[in-house]
Amino acid sequence: MELPATIGKYELLEFLGGGMSHVYRAHDTVIDRAVVVKILTESSCQDAEAKARFLQEAKLAGGFQHENIVSVFDYGEYDGKPYIVMEYLKGEDLREAIRGSRLGGMNDRLRIALHISEALEYVHGRAIVHRDIKPENIHVDPNGRVKLMDFGIAKTADLSLTRTGMAMGTPYYMSPEQISGNQTSHLVDVYSYGLLLFELLTGVRGVRGETMEQVFFQILNQTVDVAAMENAGVPPAVRDLVLRCTAKKPEDRSQSFRAVSDDLRRILSGDAKSATQAVAAPVQRNRTPLWIGIGAAVVVAIGIALWLLRTPAAPVVPGMVYIPAGTFLMGPEKKPANIKAFFIDETEVSNGEFCKAMGCSVEPGQENLPKVGINVAEARAYAQQIGKRLPTSLEWERALRGTQGALFPWGDQKDASKANVSDNPAASHELMPVRSFAGPLFNVIGNAWEMVEGPVMPSANAIAMFAAVMTPPATAQEPWITMRGGAFDRGLEPGLSYDAVSIPERFSARNVGFRCAKDP
């Protein structure tokens, strides 16, 4: 659709993305306010069930009046296609806010969790099950206000739009009963909320399988990672709440969002001692003679000093950089994050290295250029062949930024001359050899995007963008990963150190490569 365009009293100004429906920023010319118009695509209109779900969303959400649920102002039909008019929200979805570490401290995150729970308590009070709770369906505005969105597959007590045996929802957040085809209830939302709460508090997804088989196995058999919550500083009472919500058996979960909301309010108010404060140990009188205590203190002090002065040699792997375990500052707000020790390649994997291991041929003069034009499955196969793996997104960022969260490998000063990026006038504006710019990590910014490990759920914009350039079109249902660091055709910006771009696992391009990692 060519913009600007008009649908009734709504002037469409900007395409915001979409898959089965197209979403536009628009202007209500009668009331003079910004709105969002969501229009079902022509192909989706041919699917009677998709059209019914779209209209159901309009009718359900149109009846909601809650400060933490997106408002629906109007709906109708234009040129044979139904549309919904909703409030225009500034800010970002929860996925992007988590990825960018823009959620504040623990209490800020718990307040967000409470607002989501209160919205779902309101929805369940009207005998409606959302069935698609995930970060992409939660909006956070710049003031921290939360809005629950997208009731496209919600189900009322007297309406079923689901084909027999068809599980609705996003796989990473689906409950055991959904994927096993058993009878479902409102408790599927409690389970999905528990996984969302885990991710909100830790910054990582609770289910992280690389294939649908692995995802389903984890949902059916594995509990969420308690150690990840401990490392993120999640209080014990909150960890208990996450475990209750994500119990495999519905009867073992928190049985309502009213109960969840009550728990969060108690934790935020400080009533749950284990969640907000340490219990003071009883004070005991020390009856040890003073001279013995002093002598013991001296011995301990000497021992500590000797331990601190020791300089154990870091392990060495040729061609790789050792990154020790510890805390570093991540994201745009430099939030502390813990990470285990690992090795990472000094350079991107070159054509020569790749073909030596995989038995392919290299054109003369191309040996030292990054290996690009392959998908992540091929990159994983190479890494496995040589006893390595792809780095995680967190490892990649730690390797680039050091412990203090530098914006660039050389520090915080923006200097395009230090990387193969589009605004470096001395660069070739094409791929350059893997050791073109100074290490110890060569070309970690610019040259070629680098694929990193870890599944993600793509944004609507990402799905729309890759659907337009891939055959068959990219979908939200297929596996996605991220790539980091920019490329020769991208300008230098601080976000290259902490932002990630979602790509389908089957995607490949001439500016996308990788480097490997290895456990000590």
For the segment 54-76, what is each residue's pLDDT rounded down to a tens digit? 777 777 777 788 889 988 888 88
Residue 165 has pLDDT above 80, yes or no: no
Same structural domain for residues 151 and 240? yes
Same structural domain for residues 184 and 74? no
Active site annotation includes 132 = yes
**Residue 282 domain flag:** no
Residue 169 has pLDDT above 70, yes or no: no
Domain ends where: 70, 87, 104? 87
Question: Would you say 264 and 118 are in contact if contact means Cβ atoms under 8 Å apart?
Answer: no
Is residue 453 classed as helix, strand or coil in its secondary structure? Answer: strand
Mean pLDDT of 420-433: 86
Write the pLDDT tens digit of every residue in 85-138.
Answer: 988 988 888 998 998 888 888 999 999 999 999 999 988 888 888 888 999 899
Residue 281 has what pLDDT?
33
Q: What is the CATH number of the domain that holds 387?
A: 3.90.1580.10
- Name the residue range of residue 56's domain: 5-87
**Residue 283 domain flag:** no
**Which of 132, 150, 263, 345 is flagged as catalytic?**
132
Interacting residues of 478 by C-beta distance below 8 A, sequence separation 6+: 504, 505, 506
**Residue 27 domain flag:** yes
Residue 11 has what pLDDT?
93
Same structural domain for residues 128 and 190? yes
Same structural domain for residues 236 and 378? no
Write the pLDDT tens digit of every residue in 270-287.
Answer: 865 433 333 333 333 344
Q: How far is CA 167 from CA 58, 73, 164, 181, 184, in A?
A: 22, 30, 9, 7, 10
Q: What is the CATH number of the domain that holds 227?
A: 1.10.510.10
Residue 208 has pLDDT above 60, yes or no: yes
Q: Strand locations in 209-265, DSSP E?
A: none
Mean pLDDT of 186-215: 89
Write the pLDDT tens digit of every residue in 298-321.
Answer: 444 444 444 344 444 556 788 899
Residue 183 has what pLDDT?
81
Write the pLDDT tens digit of every residue in 145-154.
Answer: 899 987 654 4
**Residue 299 domain flag:** no
Q: How far apart are CA 391 and CA 345, in angstroms?
A: 9
How many CB atoms neighbour CB 242 within 10 A? 24
Residue 154 has what pLDDT?
46
Same structural domain for residues 507 and 374? yes
Same structural domain for residues 80 and 96? no
Mean pLDDT of 344-364: 93
Question: What rounded mean pLDDT belongs to the chain?
Answer: 83
**Residue 298 domain flag:** no
φ, ψ of residue 161 to 5 degrees: the values are -115, 20
Percentage of residues in the chain with pLDDT exceeding 70? 87
**Residue 289 domain flag:** no
Q: How far apart are CA 169 and CA 178, in angstroms?
A: 9
Interacting residues of 142 by C-beta distance below 8 A, sequence separation 6+: 90, 91
**Residue 301 domain flag:** no
Same structural domain for residues 73 and 214? no
* Higher-scoring residue by pLDDT: 384, 310: 384
Residue 271 has what pLDDT?
62
Residue 280 has what pLDDT?
33
Q: How far apart are CA 54 and CA 87, in angstroms?
A: 17
Mean pLDDT of 409-438: 88
User: How many separate domains does the chain show?
Assistant: 3
Residue 342 has what pLDDT?
94
Same structural domain for residues 262 and 358? no
Domain ends where: 58, 87, 116? 87
Residue 387 has pLDDT above 90, yes or no: yes
Question: Would you say 330 and 101 are in contact if contact means Cβ atoms under 8 Å apart?
Answer: yes
**Residue 291 domain flag:** no
Same structural domain for residues 123 and 59? no
Residue 270 has what pLDDT?
81
Q: How far is CA 151 from CA 59, 104, 154, in A?
A: 10, 28, 5
Q: Token pair 């038995």 is at which residue? A: 359
Residue 157 has pLDDT above 70, yes or no: no
Task: Supply 427's token pair.
Answer: 């660069």
Task: Supply 258's token pair.
Answer: 């009213």
Residue 432 has what pLDDT?
92
Write the pLDDT tens digit of every residue in 215-258.
Answer: 888 898 889 999 999 999 999 999 999 999 999 999 999 999 99
Q: pLDDT band for 292, please (50, 70, 90 cuts).
A: very low
Same structural domain for residues 139 and 250? yes
Same structural domain for residues 123 and 262? yes
Same structural domain for residues 358 and 211? no
Domain ends where: 44, 65, 87? 87
Q: How far apart are CA 150 and CA 168, in angstroms?
A: 13
